[in-house]
Amino acid sequence: MTTLTAPIIQPARAPGADPRLEPIRAKVLAGKRLSLDDGAVLYATHDIWGVIALADTVRRRMHGDAAYYNINKHLNYSNVCALSCKFCEFYRKKGDDGAYTRDLDYIRAEAVKAVDLGATEMHIVGGLHPYLPFEYYTDMLRAIREAAPGLHIKAFTAVELVHLARIAKVYKRGDPQSGVRWVLERLMEAGLGSLPGGGAEVFDDRIQKEAWKTKIGADEWLDVHLVAHELGLNSNCTMLYGHIDGRRERLNHLEILRRSQDKALARLGYTGDPDGFIAAGIPQTEAITDPVITLSGEGAVLPTPQGLERGASSPPIGRSPMPSDASTAKDQDGGLEAPRSRTEKKTKGGYYQTIIPLPFFPDGSELEHLPGPTGLENLRTIAVARLMLDNFPHVKAFWIMQTLPMAQLMLEAGADDIDGTVVWYDITKVGGSSTHQEKSVTDLKRAIREAGFEPVERDTLYRRVVREGKNWKTTTS
Ligand code: V47
């Protein structure tokens, strides 16, 4: 006979402040970069509310009481995928029940619907379709641009872009960058405006081997974003956590992204290392004590509408989105004057805007037996991301995966963005149910206001949107 014993649950929080947070608090207040060991304390401490309060300090220093949302529409052009990642419930094989691939008429109609809803952005991702030709992707972007010229197209994860280089037969082993550059140049010419952050998962060889063996790894993911940044595109990045990963691996992931962003910002004029190359090898154990770049705190590098300047002491709290986003975005969209660095070099877009921690949804995946992360772990992870990624302007609590009530709480735990109206989402479905996942602007604003923040509609590049019904413009356009 087996005896059932209750599992020993380690409380995620306990009364009382943790003195181990004190030196970390001192660093945060001084705008100093946190080390991986600091990150380990942020994850290990029982004082989760202390961690959240620290993240809130940074978040308010950067954004005041502003909380961003956008009006967007997601499009998944196909769920047919050559890969079979264990965490993924979305993919189908050709001929499977429920497999779909959208044609250009469908895509055009979706773009028109997006405009009718007042959307500023179309977010497009799909599976790695083994048979679609490269022209399908450029035709898709052109069709959207023709049907909806004002819509910003944020499309294709790094994994899809490597796949496109392969199907266009421009991918060279040993030199993934040149093929991806070829692909991105053509997609940009067809209307691509920025890259979403998907497909990063957790940068770790062990986890990759176990859960997404045949997918690109960290080096290639980073290479793709490096090339995008060099071409002047802004991008986002994600961290898919709460499956077979551990907290140390998450911290390494954040560290790798932080260094990658250092390099991106350096290319825009922050340091004298324009050829810095992150993907060649990241010494994961090396502690960083001297911040190269920090966007918050004493001595921070604070982007201004005039450019990127070092030495300001307090940001324009709560009045506008990170102005660097606005100023570099102008260059991306309209070729207007680019920001000037402190060395007065002409620069353009080309950095990570947002980290989006994505909690694992087990339902329907091969890892369905795993429980997925808890609410407190999700809150803590948002806070840790805010604290570790001192060179990232934004932290997004994607309401679809976090749920809107949790996204509300996360605004006080380091997040400044909850994503948008979305409408249709196929990658994760709450309770395994519907792809229709939509929130109205009223819902989003109410959630933000109830949490004590000021809702700010942004476009994809974090410019403030001024709107009259369906018509909109950005404050900088
Ligand atoms: O790449 C897949 C993840 C990502 C599951 O850039 C899963 O603004 C949880 O990247 N449980 C797609 N996550 C979503 C994404 C995204 C979302 C919102 C905004 C932005 C942005 C990007 O979702 C995939 C994968 O990493 N994912 N399956 C799952 N079962």
DSSP assignment of 38-104 = HHHHHHH-S-HHHHHHHHHHHHHHHHTTEEEEE-EEEEE-B-B-S---TT-SS-B-TTSTT--B--H
Give, in degrees to the nearest 5, the angle at Cα 126 between 411 and 465: 40
Asked if pLDDT for residue 69 goes beyond 70, the answer is: yes
For 340, residues 6+ apart whose C-beta sits below 8 A from its C-beta are 269, 306, 307, 308, 346, 347
DSSP letters, 114-168, are HHHTT-SEEEEE----SS--HHHHHHHHHHHHHH-TT-EEEE--HHHHHHHHHHT
Residue 437's pLDDT band (boundaries 50, 70, 90)?
Answer: confident
Q: Given CA atoms 351, 354, 355, 361 in this order, what sign does their dihedral have?
A: negative
Ligand 1 contact via 241 beta carbon (within 6 Å): no
Residues in the chain: 477
Residue entry with tokens 């957790």: 202
* 359 Cα nearest atom in ligand 1: 9
E strands of 251-371, at which residues? 301-304, 307-310, 352-359
Residue entry with tokens 């997609």: 187
Ligand 1 contact via 69 beta carbon (within 6 Å): no
Task: Measure 273 CA to ligand 1 centroid, in angstroms.
Answer: 32
For 465, residues 6+ apart whose C-beta sits below 8 A from its C-beta are 70, 71, 120, 457, 458, 459, 472, 473, 474, 475
pLDDT digit string, tens, across residues 319-349? 233 333 433 333 333 322 323 333 333 335 8
110 alpha-carbon distance from chain centroid: 23
Mean pLDDT of the region 93-107: 95
d(Cα 159, Cα 312) in Å, to the nearest integer? 38
Mean pLDDT of the region 163-169: 96
Task: Measure 306 CA to ligand 1 centroid, in angstroms.
Answer: 34
pLDDT digit string, tens, across residues 343-359? 333 335 899 999 999 99
The encoded tokens of residue 39 equal 């990150």
In-domain check, residue 367: yes
pLDDT digit string, tens, across residues 105-116? 999 999 999 999
pLDDT of residue 318: 27
Task: Measure 270 CA to ligand 1 centroid, in angstroms.
Answer: 30
In-domain check, residue 224: yes
Helix (H) or strand (E) holding 23: helix 21-30
Of residues 309 and 468, which shows the higher confidence score? 468
- Ligand 1 pocket test: which of 427, 460, 461, 462 has the largest number of ligand atoms within 8 Å of its C-beta? 427
Q: Which residue lies with its CA nearest to atom 21 of ligand 1?
A: 196
131 alpha-carbon distance from chain centroid: 28
Mean pLDDT of the region 212-237: 93
In-domain check, residue 190: yes
pLDDT digit string, tens, across residues 31-45? 888 999 999 999 999
Strand, helix or coil for residue 252: helix
Mean pLDDT of the region 419-438: 71
In-domain check, residue 39: yes
In-domain check, residue 317: no
Asked if pLDDT for residue 217 goes beyond 60, the answer is: yes
Mean pLDDT of the region 237-255: 95
- Ligand 1 pocket test: which of 84, 125, 240, 406 has the largest number of ligand atoms within 8 Å of its C-beta? 240
For 434, residues 6+ apart whose C-beta sits below 8 A from its C-beta are none
Helix boundaries (H) for 176-288: 176-190, 205-211, 218-230, 247-267
In-domain check, residue 329: no
Strand, helix or coil for residue 237: strand
The encoded tokens of residue 355 equal 């980290």
Domain that includes residue 250, residue range: 21-279+290-307+343-474
Sheet holding 454-457, edge to edge: 417-420, 66-70, 454-457
Task: Measure 299 CA to ligand 1 centroid, in angstroms.
Answer: 34
Query: Of the candidates 338, 317, 340, which has an alpha carbon nearest to the alpha carbon of residue 329?
Result: 338
* 236 Cα nearest atom in ligand 1: 6
Task: Measure 84 CA to ligand 1 centroid, in angstroms.
Answer: 15
Residue entry with tokens 């991806």: 180
In-domain check, residue 86: yes
* 195 Cα nearest atom in ligand 1: 6
Mean pLDDT of the region 57-73: 92
Mean pLDDT of the region 208-222: 91
Count: domains in the chain: 1
Q: Which residue lies with its CA nearest to atom 18 of ligand 1?
A: 398
> What CATH number is given to the structural domain containing 38?
3.20.20.70
Helix (H) or strand (E) holding 110: helix 104-116
In-domain check, residue 98: yes
